[in-house]
Amino acid sequence: MIEHDIIVIGGGLSGLRAALEAKRNGADVAVISKVPPIRSHSVAAQGGINASIGPDDSWDSHAYDTVKGSDYLADQDTVEILCKEAPEIVYEMENWGTLFSRTEDGKIAQRPFGGAGFPRTCYAGDRTGHNLLHTMYEQVLRAGVRIYNEWMVTRLATDSNRCTGFVALNLLNSELESFRAKSIVIATGGYGRIYQRSTNSIINTGFGISLAYRAGVPIQDMEFVQFHPTTLWGTNILITEGVRGEGGYLYNKDHERFMDKYAPESMELAPRDIVARSIQTEIDEGWGFSGGYVQLDITHLGKELINERLSGIRQICIDFAGVDPIKEPIPVQPGHHYSMGGISSGKDGLTPLDGLYAIGECACISVHGANRLGGNSLLDTIVFGKRAGEHAANAVKSIAMPSEDSLNESLTEERSNIDSMMGDGGESFADVKDELRQTMQRYVGVYRNRGDLETGLANVKALEKRGENIHVKSRVNAFNMELMNVLEVKGMLDIARVITEGALVREESRGAHYRTDFLERDDEKWLKHTLAYLKDGNPKLEYKDVTITQFQPKRREY
């Protein structure tokens, strides 16, 4: 059994920030991660991180934009923390070595992003996540945090409403091991790969969310799934919102800048939910190009600006679509991008299970509500990662190490679970996964309605049944990818089920959840968060109030 005061599951920006802060506050802390930390998905973030450091900007203006962007579902007390702490977080990263892009007089440059009243997004070209994550990793190494690379956590252990640790699979040799800790922080990122078209990397299966759900923790607001308006047609690699922030135009096949029909004031810089729906409508109504896409044009920005601020995007377009955006428009279509919902947790990342924290994209601290503004997620990971690390370090000073019993029990259960999966017959994980991804894309996408959601739910339930009969045929010990996939696909099914049921029950349109059979937002009935608990193998939905402080809900117009 391996032991530390605090173990952080996940080596992305949120996990590393939590580990660093816990270590700085004197705890014995370790990070465990499926992939080496700098391969976490945070590295792929392109466009930037928001902070109100501009001369005319203010934290409450940032908070207002965030709450309005969230379609009033974000908790305003946590939004306040996010926006107040943003400038300090950005300057701290700068002081640690992040090379932000600069204005001519040497200040951190900021670009406009959708739904923001000011150019508020600080950026490092179009490789902001790369720069932030590498800086953070350097700090974690410098502080001497222990890192367990290439271990996959497969089950949390609990004892009388306390998380006591977890069981993990060493990917190098397929051995199971138990890890005991006074506090556990889940920072396992998003679940994009449950959709057929996603900007997320293959490792983003959302398994961490299902670990908590299976341990009895509620997951919150899962029906709010963000579709990014501009993903590269064909591969769905992200084309950052920074492209529109720098002045990119969207055109349909008749060369109309169609956004003036949908958001005449903000045009391409309306929030993501609105732009994604606008593009989808153009495609559905026959104004898209054959194959289902529209064009994102930056040719007018000029070679110099594109090479300086969007060089990564240019390279992606050349490598994956054979299109050079200096000379021709980029073909784009909406794709899954981000999870507004996640493990229900509070302003210090604490979940309802004692000793368990959740932060980053796997968590729902409720700063994004029904629709996240671009640039607020990187901020969320660092602000709440730091808070969770500090809180956990203080808490463990007065907590005893839990007994070994629950860990030993969990290890035995997980051994027998994995043994029961080995076999040559049964279903293939790949078939179940592919069908799940198609189902979610087709029936639980940008536009939703009762009929589609019911079909989607029936499909997910049928896949759950088939999921019980998936077997692992491979007997390889080193990096048994089939075993990993089989474990993860079951978690993907959990998440898909909760998203679909939550979406079916929520009879209104709010942010990214758009019902063609209930077109209006309905604050009277639905200004509330969804909580899903796992009860006897099914999600049980409950609701809780949204925290409103300074911004009363009103109609959202752009």
Ligand X SMILES: Cc1cc2nc3c(=O)[nH]c(=O)nc-3n(C[C@H](O)[C@H](O)[C@H](O)COP(=O)(O)OP(=O)(O)OC[C@H]3O[C@@H](n4cnc5c(N)ncnc54)[C@H](O)[C@@H]3O)c2cc1C
Residue 249 binding ligand X, by CB under 6 A: no
DSSP 342-395: EEE--TTSB-SSBTEEE-GGGEE-SSSTTSPPTTHHHHHHHHHHHHHHHHHHHH
> What is the three-class DSSP state of 452?
helix
- Options 18, 20, 29, 49; binder of ligand X; rule CB under 6 A: 49
Give me the sheet containing 538-545, strands edge to edge. Answer: 363-364, 342-344, 219-220, 528-535, 538-545
> At 399, is the secondary structure helix, strand, or coil?
coil
Which residue has 């999870």 as its token pair? 339
Is there binding between residue 12 and ligand X (CB under 6 A)?
yes
C-alpha dist (Å) from residue 506 to 174, 453, 524, 527, 545: 42, 11, 12, 10, 15
Could you give the angle at which helices 76-96 and 128-143 cross, rounded to 10 degrees?
80
Question: If residue 526 lies in a helix (H) or strand (E), which one and from where to where?
Answer: helix 523-526
Annotated active-site residue 39? The verdict is no
Q: Name the active-site residue from 111, 272, 277, 372.
A: 272
CA 513 to chain centre: 16
Sign of CA dihedral 362, 367, 372, 374: negative
State which of residues 4, 23, 41, 506 lies at the interface with ligand X (CB under 6 A).
41
Distance, in Å, from the CA atom of 68 to the CA atom of 253, rounded to the nearest integer, reads 32
Q: Which stretch binds ligand X (CB under 6 A): 26-34, 61-69, 101-109, 530-538?
A: 26-34
Closer to ligand X by CB, 79 or 541: give it: 79
- 292: its two tokens: 């289902």
Q: Which range of residues in 21-29, 200-208, 265-273, 522-530 is near ligand X by CB under 6 A? A: 200-208
Per CB under 6 A, 410 contacts ligand X: no
Query: What is the smallest separation between the CB atom of 343 and ligand X, expressed in angstroms?
Result: 11
What is the closest distance, in whole angstroms, from the C-beta atom of residue 198 to ligand X in the complex? 8
What is the rounded CA–CA span in Å between residue 180 and residue 187? Answer: 17
For residue 34, state whether it binds ligand X (rule: CB under 6 A): yes
- Site for ligand X (CB under 6 A): which residue of 47, 114, 329, 346? 47
Which residues in 287-306 contact ligand X (CB under 6 A)? none
Closer to ligand X by Cβ: residue 44 or 83: 44
From the list 19-27, 36-44, 83-91, 547-555, the region that binds ligand X by CB under 6 A is 36-44
Residue 539 in the binding site for ligand X (CB under 6 A): no
Query: What single-letter DSSP state applies at residue 150?
Result: S
Q: 55-94 mask for ligand X (x: CB under 6 A)?
A: ----------------------------------------
In the three-class reduction of DSSP (H, G, I as helix; E, B as strand; rest coil), residue 51 is classed as coil
* Of 430, 406, 410, nearest in space to 418 by CA: 410
Residue 60 CA to its chain's centroid (Å)? 24
Judged by CB under 6 A, the residue of 207, 227, 357, 443 near ligand X is: 207
Say which DSSP state 224 is in: -
Compute the least distance from the CB of residue 517 to ligand X, in Å: 30
Tell me which stretch binds ligand X (CB under 6 A): 27-35, 257-265, 396-404, 511-519: 27-35
Burial of 316 per CB tally in 10 Å (0-12, 13-18, 19+):
buried
The residue count for binding ligand X (CB under 6 A) is 47
- 407 Cβ contact list (under 8 Å, min separation 6): 1, 157, 164, 165, 167, 178, 179, 180
Examine residue 20 and tell whether it contacts ligand X (CB under 6 A).
no
Rg (Cα) of the chain, in Å, rounded? 22
- Looking at the Cβ atoms of 270 and 453, the one nearer to ligand X is 270
Among 5, 7, 10, 445, binds ligand X (CB under 6 A): 10
Site string for ligand X, 169-198 (x = CB under 6 A): ------------------xxxx--------
Residue 27's closest CA among 18, 35, 36? 18
Binding track, positions 352-371, relative to ligand X; x by CB under 6 A: --------xxx---------
Applying CB under 6 A, among 66, 128, 344, 371 the residue interacting with ligand X is 128
Shortest CB 126 distance to ligand X, Å:
8
- Asked whether position 378 contacts ligand X by CB under 6 A, the answer is yes
The reply to whether 46 sits near ligand X by the rule CB under 6 A is: yes
Is 332 among the residues that bind ligand X (CB under 6 A)? no
CB of 554 to ligand X, least distance (A): 26
Residue 340 touching ligand X (CB under 6 A)? no
| Angle formed at CA 407 by CA 39 and CA 179, multiple of 5 degrees | 30
Instruction: Report in angstroms how near the CB of residue 390 gets to ligand X at its nearest.
Output: 17
Q: How far is the CB of 133 from ligand X (least distance, A)?
A: 7
Residues 44 and 338: their CA atoms lie apart, in Å, by: 13
Q: Which residues of the shown chain bind ligand X in the complex (CB under 6 A)? A: 9-15, 32-35, 37, 40-42, 44-49, 128-129, 152-153, 187-190, 199-200, 203-204, 207-208, 238, 240, 338, 360-362, 374-378, 381
Annotated catalytic residues are: 272
